[in-house]
Structure 1
Amino acid sequence: MIAVSSLLAAAVRPAAALSVLSIVGNLLVLVMAFKRSSRMKPPELLSVNLAVTDLGAAVTMYPLSVASAWSHRWLGGDAVCLYYGLAGFFFGVASIMNLTVLAIVRFVVSLNLQSPKEKISWKMVKLLCMWTWLYALVWALFPVLGWGRYGPEPFGLSCSLAWGQMKHEGFSFVISMFSFNLLMPTVIIVCCYFGIAIKLYLTYKRSMNNCNRIPNILKLHRRLFIIAVLISTGFIGCWSPYGLVSLWSVFHDSSSIPPEVSLLPCMFAKSSTVYNPMIYYFFSQSFKREVNLLPWVCLNTFSCHVSNGVTDNGIYAVSANVEPKVPARSTTLDEISDSQFLCK
């Protein structure tokens, strides 16, 4: 018990830091999205939606978790425990499904890297965002309606799905949940990004044969591909230890898992909301440039100018927008040949 108390005391500061970083980082993403809303392309709304899910989890859950860790006990009652577990499951499912939809849309966008035409409309993206929220809400309500169950975590500082109590009556829920909300999305994400990698490689080889240098549009898609893969890998990697511990508690005696062992995967899973803004900042030149131009960030002349060799108009992980070089005479985009996208 003393070891658990020491672990809880040591976890307070990291948990508080994660809460602050998650809230500030995702708010920053939303502020940048609002500032460039007039220039935003439809697929980028998916990344904004992902920031909303991360911010929602950080605001509705993390403060109570940090306060409970500080007090070394759960501060809420049964009703609050139900709310906390539902919110965690809701935002978690919304995030993984948003990443799945993002991977599919990213794959569709990459099918013709040189096309200046939009393949995804605003209406379609809004419907996809709405679908992710409705899908997550349905799954979050299942335990409330009797299929599955919410309950306190073994270490007693938060609540989630009561894995140890679903060995029999909730076993079908556990299998369905892991199949449709972890295994299937992971397979779709891996297949989509594997297809994108093949497409980028083939386009790279073709462009090198034609003009012996990498076109700007291919550089952008490669950068966006890296961002998307990092975001998906980070989320799945953060939640995998928690999923493994949860499955162990379903198939074995949950009391055999020490509280400190179940605490660390839970904290690691909650850290998934912190990484996305950092990935955007370090791998998206335009996002970094716009953040550095904020009045409270731009402290000197040098930090207000971020060089960018590639015209990176898309700050998120879905869309790339490279304007072709238009000849001096008035020419429409339809009149510009593919070679200008490949060898400019």
Structure 2
Amino acid sequence: MILIFTFPVQPRYWPYGSDGCQTHGFQGFMTALASINFIAAIAWDRYHQYCTRTKLQWSSAVTLVIFIWLFTAFWSAMPLIGWGEYDYEPLRTCCTLDYSKGDRNFVSYLLPMAFFNLAIQAFVVMSSYQSIEKKFKKTGQFKFNPNTPLKTLLLCWGPYGVLCFYAAVENANLVSPKLRMMAPILAKTSPFFNAFLYALGNENYRGGIWQFLTGQKIE
């Protein structure tokens, strides 16, 4: 008997055309911006949990979640109607915000988008965890490392932000495509790091996972 195995060949280019590129760019950019906004929301919630001893109510949490998705959907939809643009990434395997032109349209979109979706969020994360760190030092009880969230945010999204701002003042096409791909690849590792940072790094989540796997509670 001869067994024949067939494996689908993944093309090394975007196979879904221009419309698929726009859809993929919108979906990917919206979830990316939402991720950054949720990181800031978690920092704000943790600040109140550890510093003011107040918990976020369910109604407030639901409102915040809805606002973040609508807010990021707005900014992600702008390139679909001409303010900014989605296009292929340098290796043409997927689509993202097109920074290659670096024209006035791109710059006019980049600056407010980055301010409202990265700068403010980074400030919220930094100020929240600085306050938490001071609180931990006073009590002598460090429940987690308050410096890690900001470092992780900047590690994942910093290079992509630098690349976009570089494209606003210089010709980004002069940079090697493979080198330009490193920035979005780093950004796409954000969910992986967030899983460890916000889930496995939380003692309650760890305890729940351990109990689920072993049936035993962590004392």
Cα pair distance change 1:110/1:170, threshold 3 Å: same
Residues 1:198 and 2:138 aligned together: no
Amino acid at match of 1:182: L
- Do the aligned partners of 2:157 and 2:187 also contact (CA within 8 Å) in 1? yes
- Do the aligned partners of 1:148 and 1:166 also contact (CA within 8 Å) in 2? no
- Give the aligned partner of residue 30 of structure 2: 90
- Give the aligned partner of residue 278 of structure 1: 196
CA distance in 2, matches of 1:282, 1:124: 25
- Give the aligned partner of residue 7 of structure 1: none
CA distance in 1, matches of 2:156, 2:20: 25
Amino acid at match of 2:112: S
- Do the aligned partners of 2:38 and 2:68 also contact (CA within 8 Å) in 1? yes
Q: Deviations over 1:196-252 (max 9, x none)?
A: 2122323x2xxxxxxxxx6xxxx4xx32x53x6534432331111122122222321
- Give the aligned partner of residue 237 of structure 1: 155
Amino acid at match of 2:72: A
Q: Deviations over 1:67-98 (max 9, x none)?
A: 99x42211120011101111111011111111
Identity %: 22
- Do the aligned partners of 1:289 and 1:306 also contact (CA within 8 Å) in 2? yes
Cα pair distance change 1:182/1:112, threshold 3 Å: closer
- Give the aligned partner of residue 313 of structure 1: none
Work out which of the residue numbers 8, 13, 19 in structure 2 matches 1:79. Answer: 19
- 1:112 CA drift (Å): 3.5
Cα pair distance change 1:167/1:73, threshold 3 Å: same
- Do the aligned partners of 1:100 and 1:188 also contact (CA within 8 Å) in 2? yes
CA distance in 2, matches of 1:108, 1:286: 18
Amino acid at match of 1:261: L
Q: Which has the larger radius of gyration?
A: 1
TM-score normalized by structure 2? 0.85
Superposition RMSD in Å: 2.3
CA distance in 2, matches of 1:276, 1:94: 13
**Which consecutive residues of structure 2, in runs of 5 or more, have no partner in the other structure?**
1-7
CA distance in 1, matches of 2:200, 2:97: 35
- 1:187 CA drift (Å): 1.4
- Do the aligned partners of 2:51 and 2:131 also contact (CA within 8 Å) in 1? no
Q: Deviations over 1:24-81 (max 9, x none)?
A: xxxxxxxxxxxxxxxxxxxxxxxxxxxxxxxxxxxxxxxxxxx99x422111200111
CA distance in 2, matches of 1:112, 1:263: 42
1:1-344 alignment runs, 5 A limit: 70-113=10-53, 118-202=54-138, 204=139, 219=141, 222-223=142-143, 225-226=144-145, 229-280=147-198, 282-294=200-212, 297-298=213-214, 304-305=215-216, 307-308=218-219
- 1:280 CA drift (Å): 4.8
CA distance in 2, matches of 1:181, 1:281: 23
Q: Deviations over 1:297-319 (max 9, x none)?
A: 54xxxxx54644xxxxxxxxxxx
Cα pair distance change 1:235/1:264, threshold 3 Å: same
SS in 2 for 1:151: strand
Larger mean Cα displacement after TM superposition, 285-294 or 158-167:
285-294
- Do the aligned partners of 1:242 and 1:269 also contact (CA within 8 Å) in 2? yes
SS in 2 for 1:165: coil
SS in 2 for 1:163: coil
- Do the aligned partners of 2:86 and 2:98 also contact (CA within 8 Å) in 1? yes
Cα pair distance change 1:244/1:286, threshold 3 Å: same
- Give the aligned partner of residue 5 of structure 1: none
Amino acid at match of 2:179: V
- Give the aligned partner of residue 4 of structure 2: none
- Do the aligned partners of 2:83 and 2:109 also contact (CA within 8 Å) in 1? yes
Cα pair distance change 1:123/1:307, threshold 3 Å: closer
- Do the aligned partners of 1:249 and 1:257 also contact (CA within 8 Å) in 2? no
CA distance in 2, matches of 1:168, 1:276: 34
Aligned length: 212
